[in-house]
Amino acid sequence: MKIMSHYIWSTVICLVSGVRVKATGLENIDRRGSYIYVANHSSLFDIVAVCRASNVPMFYIAKKELKKIPIMGHFMTAVGMIFVDRKDRESAMKSMRMAGEKIRGGKNVIAFPEGTRSKDGNVQVFKRGSFVIAKESRVGVSPIAIKNAINILRSGSSDLRSGTILVHFEKPIQPETFASKSEEEIANICRDVIVNRISQM
């Protein structure tokens, strides 16, 4: 039922806005396991695009301010967003650990480790929060590369345009692979994978 909720909401938003989503790498999604998915972030439509492209349900981590946006806020709540107060570190980590519990319980969680939308489309430095949870929870990390979303709705703009967003799912990185690495190293590995993929899309 949850995956249907994701699919229906994202499909409706895409139809209304004239946005198409092309997904690749779906064969890399491990439907038997649960992961923390990490993606680059340049537009509010990143969330819609991943919902539309994914064939597994996901719970999202996003800043609480997005909950107030008309339509989009309702969509985020409907698909099971985990809202984080970025100004309150203790509260933010509590939300992140809640995400870890969901993953251990068999749910997939997606985060945007840049922390905010890129204004020029270039992938920013990945913050360590998502990867702290991956190590603490001993769960795998699955990178997602998103391209062209910034052309649909740029950060700070209300000018919505039609077009095609490309979404590629990379192979999951299993927890034993990064057991000896720091959170910063894991973050850099995932960022490099995503940046390399975007250059090929």
Q: Indicate the angle between helix axes 89-104 and 129-137, nearest 10 degrees.
A: 40
Q: What is the DSSP letter of 177?
A: G
Neighbours of 153 (CB within 10 A): 23
Q: What is the pLDDT of residues 18-33, one digit of tens each?
A: 999 999 999 999 988 8
* 145 bridge partner residues: 168
Residue 118, SS3 per DSSP: coil
Is this structure's pTM higher than 0.95? no
| Superfamily of the domain at 2-200 | Glycerol-3-phosphate (1)-acyltransferase (3.40.1130.10)
Token pair listed for 169: 């799912």
Task: Return the closest-CA partner of residue 112 out of 84, 135, 91, 137.
Answer: 84
d(CA 150, CA 19): 12
Q: Where are the domains of the chain?
A: 2-200
Beta bridge partners of 24: 168
The pLDDT value given to residue 173? 95
122-144 pLDDT, tens digit each: 999 999 888 988 888 888 999 99
